[in-house]
Amino acid sequence: MKAKTLALSACSLLAMMMAAKAETLTIATVNNGDMIRMQKLTDDFTSKNPDIQLQWVTLEENVLRERVTTDIATKGGQYDVLTIGNYEVPIWAKQGWLLELNDLGSNYEVDDLLPAIRGGLSVDDKLYAAPFYGESAMTIYRTDLLEKAGMKMPEEPTWEFIGEAARKITDRATGVNGICLRGKAGWGENMAFITALANSFGARWFDEQWKPQFDQPEWKEALQFYVDLMKDAGPQGASANGFNENLTLFQQGKCGMWMDATSAGSFVSNPKDSTVADKVAYTVFPSKGELKNHGNWLWSWNLAVPASSQKADAAKKFISWATDKAYTELVASKEGWANVPPGTRTSLYKNDEYLKAAAFASTTLAAMDAADITKPTVKPVPYTGGQFVAIPEFQGIGTTVGQLFSAVIAGQSTVDDALAQAQSITTREMTRAGYIK
Amino acid sequence: MARAVTTQRKVFFTVASWAVALLIFFPILYTVITSLKSETEAIQGFGLIPSFTFENYVLVQTQNGYFKPFMNSVVISVGSTLIALLIAVPAAWAMAFSPTKRTKDILMWMLSTKMMPAVGVLVPMYLIFRDTALLDTRLGLTVVLTMINLPIVVWMLYTYFREIPGEILEAARMDGASLWNEIVHVLTPMAVPGIASTMLLNIILAWNEAFWSIRLSAANAAPLTAFIASFSSPQGLFWAKLSAASTLAIAPILVMGWFSQRQLVRGLTFGAVK
């Protein structure tokens, strides 16, 4: 009995010593399905790396962005791994706030990363963040409603076709809206969609001298089209609808078409939550006439190491584990192929099991391959970014312009007034920031 | 006739009071109802009858763990309240019983610090916390919440103390009571309702404070406000889980408020009918 107690005490002491010796990584992340799943699977990492412990800080996207920005800008050093978007990566990398990720291990197949995603996370060909999952935008539509309207979705739809189909599908008596699009104000909400739409109409945020372009005919045409379409075929109260609200409407069978992030595919096709799971099909984001620009929407959630972290080696080990090919296989073995984080690796889209499990996979890949954030629109631009402009000022400007455009959808303003105000506010902010001399 | 009118008025005021109370309480009630729904039910629109699933509570607990942020909230809110009282009781005593011509100005200055938007001092505060190694510590949050609520505590105690006749304290002094005895044995027992309600209100304010507690904490000192914030998401379904997290976060303070409501009301109306 004495010996048993002694042995137990020794084991406890050893465990305590190991815990004391272990490095603890603090990981800041967002609350979405893929990230929560990763948290559940971290036993795999800690069992392979017993000297590293993990603790998580999960926050809503905007709170996290603000929180992490404060910490990294002041070199607070509270986090060792950050979850950030491809909007922040080039800006922060140029500021010297992120560590270069050139040494993620010999087994880490960096060339397997999708070129568009890798390009968005690199500065001067150096990778500063590893993608955890990526998305572009696509058209999600109801096959039964389109058929009922006597129309067939083309492989590459135009906005003209979408407008006609949406109006035909709309049936106010049964609560069916032809189209559901984002209207809620915010640079990552309605402005993500409207910027992609504007790109496809040939509009641009700024000319080569950083002069705002809201006074140009392309913007007027794009915004007028969006407003008219929402008025004729959109849901009531659309100015309050973001991704989640439109997802709910679509899942409840109240939308004929929905243009949004490719990540919506797994939600609308899940019969557990969606009443229309067996009537959904996907195609690329529409373009305008012959312009053949599909908006160039490209977003990824990525893991990066702040320059202020004292545990860079352990942090890189974790990032390598979470974004490696082996991780997708781990998720597939535990949760099925449909639940693996999409949009980061070419090999995933060559995997037959994944292609079989995810009907939206080929459209997602096509959309991501087509997205070019260095040339987001038809005319030349001085910035990068598809559904955003990758400059630090864009969060503020984008949200203000988003509020102006949302007010038009709510019937509180007109297209002309909103564009005039957007032009004036953006010019003022860009002058203050020193872009316009 | 007069009696009938009185009864009618009584009924009217009773019904109106209940209606107003229900209106004020409804958001909390609906949060509890939503927490007992499935995510699909939660997004399907307004509904008062949930399917009574406790799945969200289990998920919330397994995903983030409730106990650690709960203990952080208890330590930070109670700690900051006790420190604030320790500073505020002598300060309010001095201003109430030995006022100078600048007392009103000092009180106004103290209150004016509450008028500044918190975000205006976020970066300096963050840098101070970084340099003093107080980031993500219970001590750091306790200090900051003490400072934030101190003006309100001083103001409330000052108002209560002013209601106590100065003659009683004078009598105690004439009987030879020291300053310490005067505050502890004469003033404090008379001001207990006021001090108690100030304490309760301050605990509630500290418990619900979100701006600083989210921004100055990470994994170690994050209280329940940060726990709630972790369940909000711009993509995916989260209403039911968020409601469960909110219910768990407000439950302790709601229970505390319920049991101490008599003390709270007594303190808040202290001297009101003098």
The residues in A 194-223 lying below 8 A from B, measured between CB atoms, are none
Report the alpha-carbon distance of residue A386 to residue A372 in Å, rounded.
7
Closest residue, chain B, to A59 (C-alpha): B230
Question: Does residue A43 belong to any structural domain of this protein?
Answer: yes
Residues of chain A with Cβ-Cβ distance to B237 below 8 Å are: 244, 273
Q: Give ∠ CA A241-A191-A186 in degrees, rounded to 5.
A: 65
DSSP 3-state of A98: strand
Whether A15 and A161 map to the same domain: the answer is no
Interface contact A273, partner B, CB < 8 A: yes
Q: Does A279 lie in the same domain as A305? A: no
Q: Please give the backbone phi and psi of residue A373, each rounded to the nearest 5 degrees, phi first.
A: -80, -10
Q: Where are the domains positioned within chain B?
A: 2-55, 66-230
Is position A369 within any domain? no
**Could you tell me if residue A343 is inside a domain?**
yes
User: Is it the case that residue B152 has pLDDT exceeding 80?
Assistant: yes
Residue A437 lies in a domain: no
Kindly state the tokens that stand for B113: 């610090």
Residues 6+ apart with CB under 8 A from A184: A190, A239, A240, A241, A242, A245, A406
Handedness of CA B32, B33, B34, B35 (dihedral sign): positive
Select from B43, B135, B231 the Cβ nearest to the Cβ of A31: B231
pLDDT band at B274 (very low <50, low <70, confident <90, very high): very low
CATH code: domain B66-230 is 1.10.3720.10
> What is the reported pLDDT for A315?
96
**CB contact (8 A) between residue B235 and residue A59:** no
Shortest CA gap B145–chain A (Å): 19
Report chain A residues whose CB lies below 8 A from the CB of B219: 26, 55-57
Question: Would residue A366 count as lying in a domain?
Answer: no
Q: Do A31 and B136 touch (CB under 8 A)?
A: no
CB spacing of B40 vs A273 below 8 angstroms: yes
A189 domain-assigned: yes
Q: Which residues of B touch A63 (CB under 8 A)?
A: 214, 229, 232
Chain B: nearest CA to A67, how far in angstroms?
6
H helical segments located in chain B: 2-35, 39-43, 55-64, 67-97, 103-112, 122-131, 138-162, 166-174, 179-181, 188-208, 211-215, 224-229, 239-259, 261-268
- The parent domain of residue A174 ranges over 137-297+374-432
Chain B residues inside the 8 Å CB shell of A188: 234
- CATH number of the domain that A310 lies in? 3.40.190.10
- Does A55 reside within a domain? yes
CB-nearest partner of B127 from A57, A74, A273: A74
B43 vs A76, A79, A248: nearest CB: A248
CA B195-B201-B203 angle, 5° bins: 100
ipTM score for this prediction: 0.78
Q: Is the pLDDT of residue B4 over 70?
A: no
pLDDT in tens, B52-83: 889 999 988 887 789 999 999 999 999 999 99
Structure tokens at A348: 């995933």
- Residue identified by tokens 């409207």 is A194
Q: What is the pLDDT of residue B27?
A: 93
Residue B219 token pair:
């994994």
Average model confidence (pLDDT) for chain B? 88
Q: Where is the domain boundary, A357, A385, A402?
A: A357
What is the pTM assigned to this prediction?
A: 0.82
Nearest CA in chain B to A33: B236
With beta carbons under 8 A apart, name residues in chain A contacting B123.
Answer: 70, 73-74
- Same-domain pairing of A163 and A215: yes
Nearest to A57 among B39, B218, B233 (CB): B218
Q: How many CA atoms lie within 13 A of A388 on its CB side?
A: 25
Cα A139 to Cα A283: distance, rounded to the nearest angstrom: 5
> What single string gives the DSSP state of each residue in A42-88?
HHHHHHH-TTEEEEEEEE-HHHHHHHHHHHHHTT----SEEEEETTH
Same domain, A288 and A427: yes
The pLDDT, as a whole number, for residue A35 is 86
Same domain for A114 and A150? no
Residues 6+ apart with CB under 8 A from B122: A70, B215
Using CA atoms, how far apart are residues A24 and A160, in angstroms rounded to an integer? 55
A-B interface: how many C-beta pairs under 8 angstroms?
Answer: 83
DSSP code string of A297-324:
--EEEEEE-BTT-S-HHHHHHHHHHHHS
- How big is chain A by its Cα radius of gyration, in Å? 23
Question: Contacts of residue A33 in chain B, CB cutoff 8 Å?
Answer: 236
What is the rounded CA–CA span in Å between residue B37 and residue A363?
Answer: 34
Check if the beta carbon of residue A231 is closer than 8 Å to that of residue A415.
no
Mutant choice from A26, A31, A399 vs B, greatest count of B C-beta within 10 A: A31
Nearest Cα residue to A305 out of A331, A328, A323: A323
Average pLDDT over every residue of B141-148: 96
In Å, how far are A267, A274, A356, B46, B52 from B38, measured between CA atoms? 16, 14, 29, 13, 9
Please give the span between the terminal C-alpha atoms of chain B, in angstroms, as a whole number.
34
φ, ψ of residue A178 in degrees (nearest 5): -65, -35
Residue A86's φ and ψ, nearest 5 degrees, are -75, -5
A102 plus A243 within the same structural domain: no
Are A60 and B64 an interchain contact pair (Cβ–Cβ within 8 Å)? no
**A276/A380 same-domain check:** yes
Answer yes or no: is A363 within a domain. Answer: no
Q: Do A146 and A242 lie in a common domain?
A: yes
Nearest-Cα residue of chain B relative to residue A184: B234
Other Cβ atoms closer than 10 A to A365 = 20
Crossing angle of helices A190-200 and A394-409, in 10° steps, is 90
CA–CA dist B205, B149 (Å, integer) = 8
Is the domain of A252 the same as that of A388?
yes
Mind telling me how many Å the CA of B127 is from chain A's nearest CA?
7
Is pLDDT above 50 for B262? yes
Which one of B44, B232, B234 has the shortest CB-CB distance to A242?
A: B234
B136 contacts in chain A (CB < 8 Å)? 78
Is B130 close to A252, i.e. CB distance below 8 A?
no
Q: Is the pLDDT of residue B273 over 50?
A: no
pLDDT (tens place) for every residue of chain A, 437 residues total:
455 666 656 655 555 555 555 799 999 998 877 888 899 899 999 999 999 999 999 888 878 888 898 899 898 999 999 999 999 999 999 999 999 998 898 889 999 999 989 999 999 999 999 999 999 999 999 999 999 999 999 999 999 999 999 999 999 999 999 999 999 999 989 999 999 999 999 999 999 999 999 999 999 999 999 999 999 999 999 999 988 889 889 999 999 999 999 988 888 988 887 899 999 999 999 999 888 899 999 999 999 999 999 999 999 999 999 999 999 999 999 988 988 999 999 999 999 999 998 889 999 999 998 899 889 999 999 999 999 999 999 989 999 999 999 999 999 999 999 999 999 999 999 999 999 98
d(CA A158, CA A309): 48
Provide the domain count of chain A: 2
Between A377 and B259, the more confident residue is: A377
Confirm if A233 and A145 have CB atoms less than 8 A apart.
no
Task: Tell me what pLDDT residue A33 has.
Answer: 78
State the Cα–Cα distance between residues A97 and B162, nearest whole angstrom.
55
**Interface contact A33-B236, CB threshold 8 A:** yes
What gap in Å lies between CA B190 and CA A177, rounded to an integer?
67
**What per-residue confidence (pLDDT) applies to B41?**
83
